[in-house]
Amino acid sequence: MINNRDVAYESDNWFFALESTSAVREIAADPNVALSFAGSKGLLGKPPIFISVRGAAS
């Protein structure tokens, strides 16, 4: 695991939503998106994990 904010990630992530949802309309208006996840408990006594990803939707 790398946690130094210096990670080059070149790949595709796929997320799906119904075309009639507000999420799709918002992304059409502004394709800059972000996704975050915060775990409630850590592993082996470590602090909980936090993941943040940002990019452009298409």
More confident residue, 6 or 51: 51
For residue 1, name the pLDDT band (cuts at 50, 70, 90). Answer: very low
Token pair for 28:
């059409």
The total number of structural domains that make up the chain? 1
Domain that holds residue 53: 1-58
13-35 confidence digits (pLDDT tens): 788 899 999 999 999 999 999 98
